[in-house]
Amino acid sequence: MIAAYRKLFALLLLVGHAWAIPSPGASSPYADLKVKESLRQAPSGWTLVGEPPADHIISLRIGLPQSNFETLKEHLFQISDPDHERYGQHLSKEEVEEFVKPPSHSLDKVNAWLKAHGFAEVDLERSPAKDWVSIKVPVKLAEEMLGTTYNMWKHDESGDTLVRTTSYSLPSSLHAHIDVIQPTTMFSRFNPLSTTFHWPDAASRSATYKAPTRASDARLAAVDPSCSSTITIKCLQQLYNTGGYVPQVPEKNSVGITGYLEQFANLNDLKLFYQDQVPNAVNSSYEFVSVKGGLNNQTTNSAGAEANLDVQFAFGLTFPTPATFWSTAGRPPFLPDLTTPSNTNEPYGDWVDFVLAQEKVPYVISTSYGEPEQTVPEAYARRVCDSFAQLGARGVSLLFSSGDGGVGDGSSSASHRCKTNDGRNATRFLPTFPAGCPYVTAVGGTTEVPEVSVDFSGGGFSDYFPRPAYQDDSVNAFLKTVPSGLYKDLYNPAGRGFPDVAAQGTSFRIFYRGRSASIGGTSASSPAFAGIVTLLNDARLAQGKSPLGFLNPAIYAKGYAGLNDITGGYSNVGCGTKGFNATAGWDPITGLGTPDFLKLKTILADNLD
């Protein structure tokens, strides 16, 4: 059907006619359009540059209501609560889908609306639970269906161009049956969170330094002195006390890394890394999985620093555990003459839809990508977050980097980047998404030996998601230490606090395009912590127990005793402020701390059924 629209449009262009397509008509029940979602203005930093061709293809994703998500959430917290009798009794794929399938009347109404606009079932792509439906549609038809006008917008700093609108509408009769449609009002720029760092002397840092409040753990005396300047697999094993643990039942276990935006993990670089740091793993590999046409370019110059970092350390720590790397096609820049279908979605949505459709999913998955929360429309952020909850209910531990901008833009000087995009243009800290989703484990960064907080570690409080009960006590204890009035109106103290945990985030020795390189960021911290969680799963699976699944309730209730509390270091500057300091207990820069594997093994594997 859509191919026919495009052929018709091309023909009309040749003969000089205007665009003409079938429409439901003025008397149709779909003619009563009311605004569903809108922005007061385009976010700061985006400039309108023109109109897209009328036959430019948009891939619209339509989210239908999930019939019983609240009940699914109850199940998730029960099976993740170490004190509940159902702990570890994860749900099957089919059980999860039953909870999130849309009500039948919602499905009927949306189907009728799509049919009225010329779509047949063959034109629709549905999620397994049918709570999402995707269609490829020419811009002009999308504008008619949504009562809107799409424009081309250019990001001033990067030059990226997107096709977006600042408002869209739906027939009044459909508002209760459609939660969200994207891409419409989403101006987010989906970016990896890694950076190569060249450290200045501590005295020249813009961040403030707070000395730790307790003596260093005596075991750190055994850590190789070189780990103060270069982090290797051996360093992480020493720092996080793996005690020479060797996976006992790797064939029962699994770990995965997500890759986006043409970040390719290079097999030759992985071999060089293994030769350097994990000799037993030389010539081993991982399963490559393409999502939405994601590529696997193995040319030397196509190797991605982010992908190499994630794969080398997560898989190096867990060898010989079976590993998966997903390559999800990115969001390509818009080209004015592009009329063929292109991926205009956020890759998170594409990836999670794909993985939820699989019968088997790795038990631990690390993602080192994120963006300011406010750049993702709240309705869409909530639906993606709810999808992560579905994976948690199935026994998957999802870890996300907390971000590399401190409490905002990583700058101690006032910046336009730390302004709200709601029309007020007010200064505001910038929480990170998806790290602020309450159904994932956010990982902040540390540095040096003994470990202290690092100044770029993303942390703060979500403006979209309220604080979950599992972290109430820990976060409230921290908030009592914050001076009255400090950063008033810059953050939401009732929001979900992040990160939850932390790991080293500087000077990781990777191999990149045939040579060794030093790289850092919380994108190093997440795969490092994921490696430790994978080893904990191995210890549980070897005892006939289930994998850990959604980590946070167990970490806040019991696991904190197996973490190294980071009580000092550099504040996480941003938005013209010094940000927050690490302190005893939870804090919005290192969470509850870094892992001690042997202690965590005792708490979460040996003594927890």
Binding site members: 565-566, 585, 587
Instruction: Please state, in angstroms and rounded to a whole number, the distance separating the CA atoms of residues 564 and 503.
Output: 10
How far apart, in whole angstroms, are the C-alpha atoms of residue 507 and residue 445? 12
Binding-site residues for Ca(2+) sit at: 565-566, 585, 587
Alpha-helical runs (H) found in 93-166: 93-100, 104-116, 139-146
Q: Give the distance, in angstroms, between the CA of residue 255 and the centroid of all CA atoms in the same chain.
A: 16
Gap between the Cα atoms of 605 and 599, Å rounded: 10
Q: Alpha-carbon distance 550 to 540, whole Å?
A: 15
Task: Supply 607's token pair.
Answer: 């003594």
**How far is 280 from 248, CA to CA, in rounded Å?**
15
Distance separating alpha carbons of residues 136 and 61, to the nearest angstrom: 9
> Strand, coil or helix: what is 227?
helix
Antiparallel, parallel or unpaired: β 508-512 and 515-519? antiparallel
Given the residues 97, 144, 306, 353, the one annotated as active site: 306
Catalytic position from the list 37, 143, 310, 463: 310
What residues contact residue 563 under an 8 Å CB cut-off, 6+ apart? Answer: 501, 555, 592, 593, 594, 595, 596, 599, 600
From residue 505, give the alpha-carbon distance in Å to each of 224, 234, 521: 17, 15, 5
Judge whether 350 counts as a catalytic residue.
no
**Dihedral angle of Cα 274, 280, 285, 286, to the nearest 10 degrees:** -100
Q: Which residue in this structure is represented by tokens 């999800």? A: 328
Per 3-state DSSP, the chain is made up of helix, strand and coil in percentages (nearest 5) of 35, 20, 45
Active site (annotated) includes residue 523: yes
Instruction: Work out the burial of residue 585: count CB atoms within 10 Å of its CB; fewer than 13 is exposed, 13-18 middle, 19 or more buried.
Output: middle
List 188, 453, 462, 523, catalytic entry: 523
- Known active-site residue 229: no
Query: Which residues does the annotation mark as catalytic?
Result: 306, 310, 523
